[in-house]
A and B are shown apart, each in its own frame.
Chain A
């Protein structure tokens, strides 16, 4: 049965207006696009204001007077939009970037660099075990990883002579590996959009029209 909820109707109209883009740019699409953008920004602003209340609850109740420091730093950070007094925000900004970078750099080295090197070593060992298809899969991954890494080291390798020719071949394989990676990434993104579109259509059919 067709929905009688006005919010479901609004949602359905906005969805149809967004889908109307498939027939070309039009007023309905622009209305839905502007409504969506405004809603997201509005939601973020409201969440931000509510967060102030949540985060500083122990300050209001007197449980943690020390929270006055982040409150002051938070207020000073707003001065960044005022060119004449932007310098007021520097302490807050420096602290925020410093703490963020300090925490991330340590873990980033451990996970993204050491962790991934460990992953490649572990995959290399797996080339010798499992079914032939699994072995081939790991072999391709290892070759592609090494070649793609060498592609970015083109400055350090000789470009002339027999060595240069050899590295050129490796760099070419690396280039193809990167193209394959980008293809897979784009394919996955399209898959994601197909899924999102399906969810939107499903909502129209089941929630709005009550057909399934």
Chain B
């Protein structure tokens, strides 16, 4: 029996349907929990109220979206715990991403009736040029010498939160929801000894996860949407991570199916050629 030729357009069409099903009707397939995700959750949970956390780094918005699943859940947890957040963007698209995740977490008092007030509980800083590692080093040595105004152009000396943030001594935790986590490890964790967490993209996780072994207790990573979904489960929300987990399961099943089909086709053709 000869199997018909499968055009790539048909494969994409079937793939699209498999994507659409969980998007319209989320199934909520189960996924395993990672011990590191628990550790990260407990680290944030154990920070004293009022601690300052920095969300900093740089990367392309489209790819950083993968980190947003875990980051949004973390922001919700931080707001609930009464922690404070300052951003440190070192890529032109990073300020918009930081704004997006805080907005998506719906924690702002004026916009969503949440627990965070701008300037008091969180501050959005503008893009800081000069190269990520150089900026991190300068920022940790003297925040006020590195940046003078916030994203809206307000002098940071006028913002109450920035009165409590001067250098690395005031930072309890650094979270990097971007590809450039390795620069954060090199400067923030290795040089200044600040605990660093990354709700990383799955590709970045493959590259940088060995640093968790190199800096135990200082460097933590969540693995892409899977890690994001795990964190959402701990915080008690069903966001982007949960939606993508369903798609992963559907797409993976389909890919396996196509691999089997492709092999059957190849074997049937080999048999035909021999005849």
Contacts and interface: CB of A to CB of B under 8 A. Distances in A.
Interface of A: 19, 22-24, 40, 43-44, 47-48, 50-51, 53-55, 57-58, 63, 96, 99-100, 103-104, 107-108, 110-112, 115-116, 118-120, 122-123, 184-185, 188-189, 191-192, 194-199, 201-202, 205-206, 211-212
B259 interface: no
Interface of B: 9, 12-13, 16, 19-20, 22-26, 62-63, 65-66, 92-93, 95-96, 126-129, 131, 133-134, 137, 147-149, 153, 155, 182, 185-187, 190-191, 201-203, 205-207, 210-211, 213-216, 224-225, 240, 243-244, 247-248, 251
B40 to A, nearest CB: 19
Contacts of A22: 9, 12-13, 16
Contacts of B9: 22-24
B23 A205 contact: yes
Chain B contact residues, majority secondary structure: helix
A118 B211 CA distance: 10
28 contacts: A19-B16, A44-B92, A48-B92, A51-B129, A100-B133, A103-B137, A107-B186, A108-B186, A110-B186, A110-B190, A111-B186, A111-B215, A120-B213, A122-B213, A123-B213, A188-B203, A189-B202, A191-B202, A194-B244, A194-B247, A195-B65, A195-B202, A196-B62, A198-B19, A198-B23, A198-B247, A202-B240, A211-B24
A44 B96 CA distance: 11
Contacts of A112: 186
A188 B224 contact: yes
B128, B147, B190, B211 pick with most chain A CB within 10 angstroms: B190
A198 B66 CA distance: 10
Given A115-B190, A188-B205, A43 B93 contact: yes
Contacts, number: 149
Given A122-B213, A191-B224, A192-B202, A185 B207 contact: yes
Contacts of A47: 92, 95, 127
A57 B201 CA distance: 35
A194 B23 CA distance: 13
Contact of B26 (A24, A51, A212): A212
Chain A contact residues, majority secondary structure: helix
A197 B19 contact: yes
A205 B127 CA distance: 33
Contacts of A123: 213
Contacts of B243: 198, 202
Smallest CB-CB A-B distances: 4 pairs: A119-B213, A115-B214, A119-B214, A107-B186
A120 B26 CA distance: 41
A24 B7 CA distance: 12
Contact of B129 (A24, A55, A63, A188): A55
B207 A104 contact: no
Given A196-B63, A212-B24, 7 more contacts: A48-B92, A103-B134, A111-B182, A120-B213, A189-B203, A192-B66, A201-B23
A50 B126 contact: yes
A54 B211 contact: no
Nearest to A107: B186
B13 to A, nearest CB: 8
A119 B185 CA distance: 14
A29 B244 CA distance: 25
Contacts of B147: 54
A100 B134 contact: yes
Given A22-B12, A47-B127, A198-B243, A116 B251 contact: no
Nearest to A22: B12
Contact of B153 (A23, A54, A198): A54
A203 to B, nearest CB: 9
B133 A194 contact: no
Given A43-B93, A47-B95, A103-B133, A111 B211 contact: yes
B137, B185, B210 pick with most chain A CB within 10 angstroms: B210
A184 B224 CA distance: 14
Contacts of B240: 199, 202
